Chain A
């Protein structure tokens, strides 16, 4: 029997689809048209990785707190290079680091599906413990809920994180200027491809691991090198392309990306060719994007290249007065094209 599907015009398109969660244009609209419509806080509206809340004057403090939250849903729970426990720690640390903050404390809420093997959960929690210790962030509060079988994909994790932003440190898109350089801290798409290959339905394999890693040290290396960091962002779902599109959106500047300068591993390139994907939009879990003034680009690149997590870092683009609001990709053929936020889920295609 046909299950009843809504008739034409009954609002089929107004339901949540997976594409709403993929970090592309539909995610952007969801945030703007639903969440920011009702939740009006100006700090929230900045849409940065963390909220930065001034502590100046509070009992004599100088500086600010960075406060972030994120949720982790990944299938499979354990993938080459990591698992959801490590992912949750790194994601939280990186969101704080992107605000220029030192990660301090985090909360972890676990939503467990009935039937999840206890030893799997133990491995995930042990991983969370190991990586939070390694990243110097303390898991100081938590929660667990169990939902009936079929209502979750094994386990989901929600985290909150708090970090300390030293006095005088100011990052934000409002500081970005025409002429600034854009750097990415390493190869694009490792996480997205590693996870995609680990899923069923593709049946491809590669010696490729997720890049999931805590990046607070990498960010600190910029401050240690006295780089004037204008803007930082953790390039996760939606990839570098989405991060740059969001930066340019509504701005009075544009961004030009040199296609040839993008660092991409052979395995990611190979999978992208076979599956018809663009590495610019494939997810990372251990890549920071930074905008710096042109005179600091060499110092920033040097700082990253000498850090173990930034060996493949590269200058990939520049901020320009041309085509404000847009990201433009410059091809090796002297041509160019506009880079758009991807419309929906990243799906393997054969066209």
Chain B
């Protein structure tokens, strides 16, 4: 039971915030991720942010994919 997606945290108010995914907005609880800041991507599950997406790690994984794809292409 793990459907959760990365969404943009547009606004933060105390322990809640407004998220945006493709223009869909919803109020989510930030109780479990008090460190989340506006402009962060948070992983939201059932209306609760359960983590703040680590952009450096995301980019590192993506560049690993790109390297793999490039090396296959050669």
Contacts and interface: CB of A to CB of B under 8 A. Distances in A.
A274 B25 contact: no
A274 B44 contact: yes
Interface string B23-56: 1111100000000000000001111000000000
A206 B25 contact: yes
Given A273-B21, A274-B21, A205 B26 contact: yes
Interface string A255-273: 0000000000111111101
Contacts, number: 51
Given A273-B5, A350-B45, A350-B46, A267 B26 contact: no
Contact of A351 (B1, B21, B23, B25): B1
Contacts of A205: 24-26
Interface centre among A204, A206, A270 (most CB of B within 10 A): A270
B3 interface: yes
Interface residues of B, number: 17
Contacts of B22: 265-271, 273
A208 B26 contact: no
B21 A270 contact: yes
A269 B45 CA distance: 17
B23 A270 contact: yes
Contacts of A276: 3
B12 to A, nearest CB: 18
B1 A274 contact: no
Contact of A350 (B3, B25, B26): B3
A163 to B, nearest CB: 37
Contact of B1 (A197, A207, A265, A350): A350
A13 interface: no
Interface in A331-351: 349-351
A200 interface: no
A174 interface: no
A74 B45 CA distance: 29
Nearest to B4: A350
B26 A203 contact: yes
A267 B3 CA distance: 18
Interface of A: 197, 203-208, 265-271, 273-274, 276, 349-351
Interface of B: 1-3, 5, 7, 20-27, 44-47
15 contacts: A203-B26, A206-B24, A206-B25, A266-B23, A267-B22, A269-B22, A270-B20, A270-B21, A270-B23, A274-B26, A276-B3, A349-B3, A350-B1, A350-B45, A351-B1
Given A267-B23, A270-B20, A271-B22, 16 more contacts: A204-B24, A204-B25, A205-B26, A207-B23, A208-B24, A265-B22, A268-B22, A269-B22, A270-B21, A270-B22, A274-B26, A274-B44, A350-B1, A350-B3, A350-B45, A351-B1
Those 10 A-B pairs whose CB atoms lie nearest each other, nearest first? A270-B22, A266-B22, A270-B21, A270-B24, A267-B23, A204-B26, A206-B24, A351-B1, A273-B5, A271-B24
